[in-house]
Structure 1
Amino acid sequence: MIASMTAFARREVHLPWGSLSWEIRSVNQRYLEPNFRLPDSLRNQETALRHRLKQKLARGKLDLNLKFYPADERQDLVLNETLLDKLIASAEKVRSKMPAAAPVDPLKLLEWPGVIQASETDEEEVQAQVLSLFDLALEDLQAHRLREGEALAAMIEERLVQISIHLQNAQSYLPAALEAWRESLLEKAAKLQVEVDPARLEQEVVMLAQKQDVAEELDRLEAHVTEVRRALKTKGPVGRRLDFLMQEMNREANTLGSKAMNLDMTQVAMDLKVLIEQMREQVQNIE
């Protein structure tokens, strides 16, 4: 099943020590281009995150945003008694040298940096949760990409059906086109009052048929249709292969248009180009 490169996923978890939230946005890109935005305290996880990402995805430009909200209000406060004793001793020493010194304010001592500390969160637990939550977000993203890919495959299949119909019509137009050209030559000869050698006329018709023969182009287009259908059923990234097939189909449609002998064949070539371009636009989003 094919996958689209356009998708979004969000996962979050709330734990006693805080909350984690992953947001992943993906759009089409020729290669895999991740852009991680991580809190400073968790930047050391980027290598492991990139490794996990490469195991799941092959193409796409991704914005991966991790937010970490520590639950400071839930944490126990730890008093640095050693530092506090030193501050009190220093304050008493200063007061003894000042005749009218005010008493030491305990609240002022508590405001000193480092006297009150929040209990430390288990870093290993946080990092494990970051990776676990990331895996879940990636699963959601991949599921979204597969749903989008299924819709893209359906749209491409609709156009492949129309292309096959146009190819069948083109085959039926060829004999009528040659006969119309034969009649045109006879009419021109009659107007010019020129006697036409039947053998020479048949020779000209044969030469034109060889020159304007589009059977090879039609066969190649039909082969490309079959290959596109096969690629749509292939597991794994097929976007680049489909893009190549679109280029080849467009080239054959151009050749078909240049060899067109009547308006019907010209219209077939134009309709084919429109359908191929519509598929090409969809293929740009396929991984």
Structure 2
Amino acid sequence: MPLSMTGFASTATEDARYNWVWDLRSVNARGLDIKIRVPDWLGGLEEVLRKSLKAAVARGSVSVSLKITRRDEAGSQSINPDELTRVLTQLTAIAAEAEARGLRVAPVQPTDIAGMRGVLEQRAMTDDDTAPLLARLTEDIPALVDQLLASRAQEGAALVQVLSDQLDEVARLVAAAEAVMAARQDAQVTGLQDALSRVMANTDGADPDRVAQELAILAVKTDVREEIDRLNAHIDAARGHLASDQPVGRKLDFLMQEFNREANTLCSKAQFKDLTAIGLDLKHVIDQMREQVQNVE
């Protein structure tokens, strides 16, 4: 069964020294786009993540983030002197300019300065032996990827159900169009006979055989049997894709274009109220299917 490109996975773990939280999210995309945000002092972790995700996921935009804190968090932050100097210089300049323009500036509290971006920074953990932590984080990856795939599979099952129901509706409408064809044929015969009678009554020297031939050509141009046959073939193909365990999103997307093309042609050829109504309903259902297909891997 096809997977959805939408999924989520998250775990929170701790050991004697660290707490860490994994967060994986995936949404639809034309290809595979992997964005990874992990601490840069954990050398090699990003490569392992990217390799694991490429092996498991065919399409989608996948975002991975890892947040790590030491359990002695109170001592894990330090002042960045360069950023503090920059911030204080800017605040001094702002206060001076405001005073020159007659504006009163409220005193700035130390806590306000500490909260400014870059003033306090997480102390790099390079003073620790990161090998044990890296090993633990690497062990997390297979289960995390499995959790993401399970989420995508659950979403995929829901997608398949929706698309199957929509295909059933398309099949019903195509069968209705086929049933209407008999009534349309009778109406066309009557209409063509009336048209031929009017032409012959108002035209001197017209060749009846030539007029009848032209009307017959018109009837052939409005025949929708081929469109109905192709729609039925597309329905069978789509059901086959929904039963596949391979990535079929691109194939389904292309098939939706073909569905839409046949429905458009059927509407343009209809020239019969009931058949036109069916064609418009077909276009509506196909458009709904195209929206759902955008999420299939």
Same fold by TM-score greater than 0.5: yes
Residues 1:10 and 2:17 are matched in the alignment: no
Deviation at 1:200, TM superposition (A): 7.2
Q: Deviations over 1:47-94 (max 9, x none)?
A: 12100110110111121100111223799xxxxxxxxxxxxxxxxxxx
Deviation at 1:139, TM superposition (A): 1.0
1:237 match: secondary structure: coil
Q: Which runs of 5+ in 2 are unaligned?
A: 76-124
Q: CA RMSD in A?
A: 2.7
Report the counterpart of residue 54 of structure 2 in structure 1.
Answer: 54
1:9 match: secondary structure: strand
Q: Which amino acid aligns with 2:141?
A: F
Report the counterpart of residue 185 of structure 2 in structure 1.
Answer: 178
2:176 match: secondary structure: helix
Instruction: Give me the whole-angstrom Cα distance separating, in 2, the residues matched to 1:55 and 1:235.
Output: 15
Report the counterpart of residue 68 of structure 1 in structure 2.
Answer: 68
1:259 match: secondary structure: helix
Give the number of aligned pairs.
245
Q: Deviations over 1:20-39 (max 9, x none)?
A: 21001111001111111111
Q: Deviations over 1:205-259 (max 9, x none)?
A: 6433321121111111111111111101111211101101001111111111111
Instruction: Give me the whole-angstrom Cα distance separating, in 2, the residues matched to 1:272 and 1:2.
Output: 24
Deviation at 1:203, TM superposition (A): 4.8
Q: 1:17, 1:121 within 8 Å by CA — same for their partners in 2? A: no
Q: 2:230, 2:262 within 8 Å by CA — same for their partners in 1? A: yes
Instruction: Give me the whole-angstrom Cα distance separating, in 2, the residues matched to 1:60 and 1:119.
Output: 34
Q: 2:200, 2:208 within 8 Å by CA — same for their partners in 1? A: no
Q: Between Structure 1 and Structure 2, whose CA radius of gyration is higher? A: 1
Report the counterpart of residue 23 of structure 1 in structure 2.
Answer: 23
Deviation at 1:193, TM superposition (A): 8.3
Residue among 274, 287, 293 paired with 1:283: 293
Residue among 237, 241, 249 paired with 1:231: 241
Matches within 5 A, 1:103-142: 121-142=128-149
Q: 1:231, 1:238 within 8 Å by CA — same for their partners in 2? A: yes
Instruction: Give me the whole-angstrom Cα distance separating, in 2, the residues matched to 1:226 and 1:28.
Output: 25
Residues 1:240 and 2:250 are matched in the alignment: yes
Report the counterpart of residue 232 of structure 2 in structure 1.
Answer: 222
Q: Which amino acid aligns with 1:8?
A: F
Q: Which amino acid aligns with 2:23?
A: E
Deviation at 1:182, TM superposition (A): 2.4
Residues 1:268 and 2:275 are matched in the alignment: no
Deviation at 1:188, TM superposition (A): 5.0
Instruction: Give me the whole-angstrom Cα distance separating, in 2, the residues matched to 1:125 and 1:225.
Output: 54
Worse overlay, 197-206 or 210-219: 197-206
Q: Which amino acid aligns with 1:20?
A: W
Report the counterpart of residue 95 of structure 1 in structure 2.
Answer: none
Q: Which amino acid aligns with 2:46?
A: E
Deviation at 1:142, TM superposition (A): 0.8
Deviation at 1:261, TM superposition (A): 2.2
Q: 1:12, 1:133 within 8 Å by CA — same for their partners in 2? A: no
Q: Which runs of 5+ in 1 are unaligned?
A: 76-117
2:41 match: secondary structure: helix
Report the counterpart of residue 38 of structure 1 in structure 2.
Answer: 38
Report the counterpart of residue 102 of structure 1 in structure 2.
Answer: none
Identity percentage of aligned residues: 40
Residue among 155, 164, 168 paired with 2:171: 164
CA pair 73-282 structure 1, distance change in 2 beyond 3 A:
closer
CA pair 237-192 structure 1, distance change in 2 beyond 3 A:
closer
Q: 1:246, 1:276 within 8 Å by CA — same for their partners in 2? A: yes
Instruction: Give me the whole-angstrom Cα distance separating, in 2, the residues matched to 1:30 and 1:119.
Output: 39
Q: Deviations over 1:165-216 (max 9, x none)?
A: 1111111212221221222244456678829999778656643332112111
TM-score, with length taken from structure 2: 0.75
Q: 1:34, 1:62 within 8 Å by CA — same for their partners in 2? A: yes
Q: 1:163, 1:275 within 8 Å by CA — same for their partners in 2? A: yes
CA pair 74-124 structure 1, distance change in 2 beyond 3 A:
farther
Q: Which amino acid aligns with 1:39?
A: P
Instruction: Give me the whole-angstrom Cα distance separating, in 1, the residues matched to 2:217 and 2:211.
Output: 10
